[in-house]
Amino acid sequence: MTPAYTYFIFLRATPAWLRLSRSERDRLARQHLTPLLGEPEHLRMRFFDAEAFSAFCSDVMMIETDDPMRHYFFMEGLRDTPLIHAPYFEVLQIVPALEDGFRAYEKHKGPQTDVSQPR
């Protein structure tokens, strides 16, 4: 899969999540996230710990997909899980991005005069 869309989901773990044992956290994450991800060629997830570096969020989930509707369905499904409604995590912010989007724009526009160069 060559992902066209990347979504950075900023999360904050709640005290309820932190009270769980690490094995229980792992079990819940696998139980609820694996079915939402589906086939890896359509939707991929990466997870980053941020609590040691940020007071804003404790974790960053990165979702990559070639179809924004797959991300939408993932988020709807995620909200239906105890990971969000128990609540074990709060969704603080979602930042959509296009990797190397400027390259796609340049290809779309075709050859242009470089406006940064003096004439």
- pLDDT tens per residue across span 84-96: 999 999 999 999 9
In the block, which residue shows the tokens 């959509």? Answer: 96
Half-sphere exposure of 82 (CA within 13 A, CB side): 11
Greater confidence (79 vs 119) lies with: 79
Tens-digit pLDDT profile for residues 73-85: 999 999 999 999 9
| Closest to 6 in 3D by CA, of 59, 61, 56, 62 | 62
5-109 has which CATH code? 3.30.70.1030
Q: Is the pLDDT of residue 48 over 90?
A: yes
Token pair, residue 51, equals 């609590």
Residues 6 or more apart in contact with residue 114 via CB below 8 angstroms: none
Tens-digit pLDDT profile for residues 6-31: 999 999 999 999 999 999 999 999 99
Q: Is the pLDDT of residue 112 over 90?
A: no
pTM: 0.85
Counting every residue, how long is the chain? Answer: 119
